[in-house]
């Protein structure tokens, strides 16, 4: 009886919150009720914050059921796996690799997907199975194909889906290749982020169909894009809101450490200068997105110190160039050191000023076009206004 009460109270509380923020619309309410979130959450989870930054300790349903129920029916993501399953136990691993997504994000993306009766949907990233269950209830299990790369996650999701009375086609494999036997699809939705839209997703979507996926450049900053597939094999559309998802496994980045860039003792062969642009200014999610689109093949790292100051490191993926900017409280000028053929801080600073000069646009003003050969163009306000590249 206690668990039944927790389930009913938690579901009602979360439904009210999701309805109030506009994520849960009336057309998805019956699915929300029919396949409750707790059916798809394992006993051991690591609750996160709504901004996608995971924090805190594990919550174990068996040891602390009240905390588990509270986590399940809070509007936060729940990490369910670390390091592709290599990490076990209640401590946190190095990299979160599977989760039950933040409910606001789940229903916002489903709203963007705009499924209709009779649609066939391909989902990339089964995870715990909740999203596939919601789709199955809405349009019928026979019209849903879901692909999961991790065999253990897939097996557990299959059991949860069966217990919920759902039977979508669950494929264990690489989501980047989709599932050709089920094509064409009317809708494709990804619950993992990408820096390149896999051509297979476009090829397997009918003309006029939609692809909804989290997309972000190497540098950082990420948003959900809603692409319409054209008759010519291109796909184009606007970003609809910020996101923070785990990367598609095939597109995970390998990022060298700072020491691999240095040719000798500090400051190695770096050239020192000064900047009035604070590293704080270039660290927000929309700013990072705008910078990353313009500065390809580069990524930031933060080295923090006990006194609250930090160093922003900029690296290129080719391991040819690096830069640092030192931030200290109260400063209005910041020391810069750069090395290599690319002036990475110069590129970042120019990209930030481009974004600032245009009123610091949010994600909703940006769009993406991808071509059949895998090319992509990010644009501002219109496909006729491509965002420039600084490299």
Please report, for the domain that includes residue 44, its CATH number.
3.40.50.150
Residue 151 and residue 23 share a domain: yes
pLDDT, mean of residues 3-17: 88
Query: What span, in angstroms and rounded, lies between the C-alpha atoms of 241 and 257?
Result: 31
Residue 98 and residue 175 share a domain: yes
Report pLDDT for 119.
Answer: 98
Residue 159 and residue 37 share a domain: yes
Nearest to 368 by CA among 389, 387, 390, 342: 387
Q: Is residue 93 included in any domain, yes or no?
A: yes
List the domain range (segments joined by +) for residue 139. 2-242
In degrees rounded to 5, what are phi and psi of residue 260?
A: -70, -15
Domain boundary residue, one of 214, 242, 270: 242
Q: Is residue 182 included in any domain, yes or no?
A: yes
DSSP conformational letter for 125: -
pLDDT at 110 over 60: yes
> Where residue 3 falls among pLDDT bands split at 50, 70, 90?
confident
Whether 321 is catalytic is no
Segment 164-182, tens digit of pLDDT:
999 999 999 999 999 999 9
Helix (H, G, I), strand (E, B), or coil: what is residue 166? Answer: coil
Residue 233 and residue 297 share a domain: no
Q: Residues 327, 278: contact at Cβ < 8 Å?
A: yes
Residue 324 and residue 229 share a domain: no
Q: Is residue 226 included in any domain, yes or no?
A: yes
pLDDT, mean of residues 231-244: 96
- Spot the catalytic one: 31, 74, 101, 321: 101
Q: Is residue 253 included in any domain, yes or no?
A: no
pLDDT, mean of residues 66-91: 93
Residue 285 and residue 186 share a domain: no
Residue 179 and residue 43 share a domain: yes
Residue 296 and residue 181 share a domain: no
Report pLDDT for 147.
Answer: 98
Residue 280 and residue 235 share a domain: no
Q: Write down how long the chain is.
A: 391
Per-chain mean pLDDT for the chain? 94
Q: Is residue 272 included in any domain, yes or no?
A: yes
pLDDT at 125 over 90: yes
Residue 232 and residue 88 share a domain: yes
pLDDT at 390 over 90: no
Residue 279 and residue 220 share a domain: no
Residue 266 and residue 207 share a domain: no
pLDDT, mean of residues 308-337: 96
Q: How many domains does the chain have?
A: 2
pLDDT, mean of residues 57-77: 95
Report pLDDT for 56.
Answer: 66
Segment 38-60, tens digit of pLDDT:
999 999 999 997 554 556 689 99
pLDDT at 391 over 80: no
pTM higher than the cut 0.85: yes
pLDDT at 8 over 90: no
């Amino acid at each position: 009886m206690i668990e039944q009460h927790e389930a009913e109270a938690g579901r009602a509380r979360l439904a009210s919150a999701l309805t109030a923020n506009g994520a849960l619309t009336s057309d998805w309410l019956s699915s929300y009720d029919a396949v409750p979130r707790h059916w798809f959450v394992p006993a051991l989870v690591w609750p996160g914050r709504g901004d996608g930054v995971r924090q805190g300790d594990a919550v174990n349903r068996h040891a602390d059921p009240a905390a588990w129920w509270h986590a399940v029916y809070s509007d936060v993501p729940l990490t369910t796996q670390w390091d592709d399953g290599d990490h076990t136990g209640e401590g946190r691993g190095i990299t979160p690799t599977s989760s039950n997504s933040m409910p606001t994000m789940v229903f916002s993306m489903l709203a963007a997907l705009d499924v209709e009766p009779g649609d066939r949907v391909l989902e990339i990233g089964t995870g715990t199975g909740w999203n596939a269950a919601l789709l199955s209830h809405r349009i019928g299990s026979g019209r849903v194909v879901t692909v999961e790369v991790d065999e253990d996650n897939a097996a557990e999701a299959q059991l949860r889906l069966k217990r919920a009375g759902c039977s979508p086609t669950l494929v264990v494999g690489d989501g980047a290749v989709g599932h050709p036997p089920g094509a064409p699809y009317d809708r494709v939705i990804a619950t993992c982020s990408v820096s390149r839209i896999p051509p297979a997703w476009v090829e397997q979507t009918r003309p006029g169909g939609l692809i909804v996926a989290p997309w972000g450049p190497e540098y950082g900053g990420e948003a959900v894009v809603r692409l319409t597939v054209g008759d010519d094999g291109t796909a184009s559309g606007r970003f609809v809101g910020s996101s923070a998802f785990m990367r598609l496994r095939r597109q995970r980045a390998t990022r060298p450490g700072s020491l691999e860039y240095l040719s000798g003792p500090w400051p190695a062969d770096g050239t020192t200068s000064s900047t009035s642009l604070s590293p704080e200014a270039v660290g927000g999610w929309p700013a990072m997105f705008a910078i990353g689109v313009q500065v390809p093949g580069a990524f930031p790292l933060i080295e923090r110190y006990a006194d609250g100051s930090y160093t922003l490191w900029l690296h290129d993926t080719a391991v040819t160039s690096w830069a640092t900017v030192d931030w200290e409280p109260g400063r209005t000028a910041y020391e810069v050191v750069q090395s290599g053929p690319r002036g990475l801080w110069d590129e970042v600073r120019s990209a930030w000023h481009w974004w600032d000069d245009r009123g610091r646009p949010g994600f909703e003003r940006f769009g993406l076009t991808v071509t059949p050969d895998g090319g992509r163009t990010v644009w501002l306000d219109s496909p006729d206004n491509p965002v420039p590249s600084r490299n």
